[in-house]
Chains A and B, each alone.
Chain A
């Protein structure tokens, strides 16, 4: 779960990390008032869950409160990567002398958190990692001990932070690590970390992404969850215990098990088509599950055919077939259905499907080819 910059900054401030004075605004007038209260110059920043805000025109410097009002009216309502800007953060402009990078995320290979510090701030860290990997200092603290003072010092020396800022950056890295641990973050990042002309440091931007699996114990943060229009179907599916991802093709996909569904998307692509979604219904495939899954997939108007790929394991193939038959009898689908059942009692399942108003295929590859072919046919009337 991603937080907005202003939310992340409030959390950093509570952890003792200095941030510029700022106010949230949802109208141009509020932005003007905020700029008056803070004192110009200010920066007006779009608050949306999308990267590349600056390039999209979502960040503007304003020299006066009236400039801030004009900037806010230009930014509010604009779309950045398909997301409408509903609020802006008005922040005192920093007196920047230098920009650093400080971030913490998971290193899967080492099974440890990785703390990264660089004197190349303001750029995407992945670009820095490609262009000049030697400019990123990394440390892997034990999750049992946290980032120890000597580890933070080693990072500061390795990154080549100027002497005047060493102590404060060590302190900031340790505070940021505590935030990472206390918020169950997937990622916490200060980029850029401003060094001001007077030598003080400030978090210029802040990213905080929380582990969805930990929201059960992060009640305060869970309240900050926002669902954008393109995520509504994903949220609806999640409430049913499904895992759903919207894609941009026209072959709807329903399956059980993440790996099997991924392999099904690949089979559709191998057959020359494009999947409309990823939908994993989890274990079993009883009637209610199939019905709910079909509703979600068919709520996408682009879908021209649906492929159901179920492995009958502990839920046997004949039971899966009965569930599908019950659903289509009561709610005939609006597009052709291709069903493939494998595993335990798959043959019995296929026999049950004979004569039903659907296409049944024995293998994943055959079913995918058929679903792709049907999606390309002219619409049925």
Chain B
């Protein structure tokens, strides 16, 4: 078992540009079922051995795809996401960076009425190690196991996966929820999936400054947590009012401070690591209890 994706997930690629093609190849290498791609006007052809379709709906009809990964550039990304939702794809993973907030607000409003789960945008995607990878993460750093992992960032996720793997702690599913202020699967919702997943024995929550998703995740775990969890918050030394790379990583007024997030986790009985290197030790301790 796992969440969101497994070896049976059938993926199409929206946006077969340079980046889309590169990562479609890496995903195939990993064993992900990449069953098609969309490129308006290229329907009936193939790129790198992947059959192309003019629309998402026709791709779904022909291939039985139930997941999509979106590389479409920001100005056209809303349209791509809405097309995938309209085709009732179960899982849509958006890698695209720099989508206007107004566009994501519209997508979020449509999602409320749809059956699709959107992961991202502006994230690395998701991986169930040993089964399927729908994302841009370097697969070498992940290994199968029981640690469920939710993160708002990219390379920090790889870094922590690498640390966990080296410590002998494999992962059930890793979900990079994305660094934007409006995302499809906020941290608390991702934590809920892992909390209810029988294959997940412990949960690692990697947050950062900005917003209050970590506080809500802590509140959820305090009320309904079934398994041990460990947290890390990036940006504890960031000054207020400065956006730290991610559009969502900003402390404004008294909103989104690291202190508030650390306190929320501690009040929920979830230990907070001081540095990423501390996470494997805390996970092992948490699993022992």
Contacts and interface: CB of A to CB of B under 8 A. Distances in A.
Do the two chains belong together in a single complex?
Answer: yes
Contact of B109 (A143, A263, A343): A143
Given A259-B154, A313-B141, A364 B243 contact: no
Contacts of B232: 263
B181 to A, nearest CB: 5
Nearest to A310: B155
B153 A184 contact: no
A194 B58 CA distance: 56
Given A263-B275, A343-B138, A126 B253 contact: yes
B243 A344 contact: no
Contacts of B213: 108-109
A29 interface: no
B151 A211 contact: no
Contact of B234 (A184, A216, A259, A311): A259
B31 interface: no
Using C-beta atoms within 8 Å of the partner chain, give the interface range for chain B: 35 or more
A interface: dominant SS? mixed
B181 A108 contact: yes
Given A106-B182, A213-B247, A266-B237, A259 B208 contact: yes
B110 A259 contact: no
A363 interface: yes
B212 A262 contact: no
B154 A257 contact: yes
Interface in A109-146: 109, 111-113, 126, 130, 142-144
B77 to A, nearest CB: 10
A259 B237 contact: no
B263 interface: no
A267 interface: yes
A191 interface: no
Interface of B: 26, 74-75, 98-102, 105-106, 108-110, 136-138, 140-141, 151-159, 162, 179, 181-182, 206, 208-209, 211-213, 216, 232, 234-239, 242-249, 253-254, 274-277
Interface of A: 106, 108-109, 111-113, 126, 130, 142-144, 181, 184, 186, 211, 213-214, 216-217, 243, 245, 247, 255-263, 265-270, 275, 278, 280, 311, 313-314, 342-344, 363-365
